[in-house]
Amino acid sequence: MNTKIPLVLSLVWAVFCLACSGNTQAPDSGIDTADANITHDCGPACEDDNEGRDGDEGDSQNLWQEVDKELTAAFDSGKIKGDFVILDVFDDSGKLVHSISLGQAPGRDEPIAIASASKWVSSTVFLALVQDGKLSLDDTTGQVLGWTEPDIKDITLRHLLSFTSGLQGDDCVKKVLTSPEECLELIHGAGLEQGAMVGKTFHYGPQHMAVAAAMAKKVTGKSWRELFTEKVVLPSRFTSDAIYYTAPKQKVGIKNPLISGGLTISINDYERFLSALQGIGDSTLLSVDLFTEQHSEQWPTDINVVYTPNPDIHYALGCWRECSSPDDVAACDADLMVHSAGAFGFVPFMDLTNGSYGVLAAEGDSGAGRSNLEVLNQLRPMIAEAMQP
């Protein structure tokens, strides 16, 4: 009898089992688990013919297949806007539990323009300064910037991050050759838009965060690039270039960065940001209190909405509060998904009902964000069911 055969078979079996361990990176995920503090399922490589599989796991697999089916149908029909779509879903421990990619997707470490998904990142920079004691959400333009006009000197950082400052704004934020200081003076000179009341007028636009960035520079003496690197890039352990431009699609204009929509960032790095924002692993961007404040209700009951791309929901501090009962704060908090959908179709999200988070990533023409958000909302109940233990 050849005694080497059982030994060889044992070694082969050991290698097979090691390949199916839960610490193996998901195929094509492109995420470095050592950097991101994220583990991944080994996916199809661990599947057999369902022998010995728990029934609940089989049900979950079927639910994810339904998610893929719905997303594929939306992509094929053109409801998903863009040449590609990627859906990644993580659980509350930072584990990638599902991923699907359709179309001509870029590499996961390739920076893409994400439009208003930048706002969630920018808001986190400002709140990190609040955490450091450099700013307060109640600090005003009068206190920090020296504005003296009675109608605008009491605009607070909270008003700016919730887009309720009432400021009229100026298109200077989208001009490559304009400096942030010149732009600030133009916004300052324009004052409030007609009929606006500070704290009671919501107007979704770039002017608010441009003023907030001026406040941040005033109290720190640092550029936006320096603050972004210090408060988000380094603690989140980004591995690719993440840059704010004036015109992110063309990747031009770093002199006058568009704080509310100019970020180009890789899919992997945005996911690292979401992980660190939730305090997963050893990187934490915000305290629990400030993280909670970021997605808490900010609107007064008598809010006047001048313009919003999402008329059925409310805005918090740099992110949207998606729920079935937006006017009932308690009910909304119990059914809350936070997101920051960008006009080009990039939709990062956190479902606070189960701690899951992820991105529905695409890069289409302006206006794709709303359509892609609708698809994500259609998938949300199926994702939530698949996430159940």
- pLDDT 10s digits, 133-148: 999 999 999 999 999 9
Antiparallel, parallel or unpaired: β 304-307 and 201-203: parallel
Q: Tell me, what CATH number does 282's domain have? A: 3.40.710.10
Q: How many distinct structural domains can be found in the chain?
A: 1
Q: pLDDT-derived band of residue 59, with 50, 70 and 90 as boundaries?
A: confident
- The answer to whether residue 229 scores a pLDDT higher than 90 is yes
Residue 206 lies in a domain: yes
Q: What is the pLDDT of residue 57?
A: 62
Residue 251 lies in a domain: yes
Average pLDDT over residues 169-187: 97
- The answer to whether residue 19 scores a pLDDT higher than 60 is no
Rounded Cα distance between 287 and 279, Å, is: 8
Average pLDDT over residues 153-159: 98
Residue 248 lies in a domain: yes
Residue 171 lies in a domain: yes
Percent of the chain with pLDDT over 90: 80
Structure tokens at 168: 């009229």
Reduced 3-state DSSP string for the chain: CCCHHHHHHHHHHHHHHHHCCCCCCCCCCCCCHHHHCCCECCHHHHCCCCCCCCHHHHHHHHHHHHHHHHHHHHHHHCCCCCCEEEEEEECCCCCEEEEEEEECCCCCCCCEECHHHHHHHHHHHHHHHHHCCCCCCCCEHHHHHCCCCCCCCCCEHHHHHCCCCCECCCHHHHCCCCCHHHHHHHHHHHCECCCCCCCCEEECCCHHHHHHHHHHHHHHCCCHHHHHHHHHHHHHCCCCCCEECCECCCCECCCCCCCCCCEEECHHHHHHHHHHHCCCCCCCCCCHHHHHHHCCCCCCCCCEEEECCCCCCEECCCCEEECCCCCCHHHHHCCCEEECCCCCCCEEEEECCCCEEEEEECCCCCCHHHHHHHHHHHHHHHHHHHHCC
Residue 41 lies in a domain: no
Residue 43 lies in a domain: no
pTM of the shown model: 0.86
Range of the domain at 155: 112-312
- The answer to whether residue 40 scores a pLDDT higher than 80 is no
- The answer to whether residue 14 scores a pLDDT higher than 70 is no
- The answer to whether residue 45 scores a pLDDT higher than 90 is no
Find the helix packing angle between 368-387 and 55-77, rounded to 10°.
170
Nearest to 197 by CA among 302, 293, 294, 326: 302
Structure tokens at 249: 């699609």
Q: Residues 224, 225, 230, 235: what is their CA dihedral angle, to the nearest 10 degrees? A: 120
Average pLDDT over residues 98-126: 97
Residue 54 lies in a domain: no
Residue 154 lies in a domain: yes
Percent of the chain with pLDDT over 70: 85
Rounded Cα distance between 68 and 83, Å, is: 17
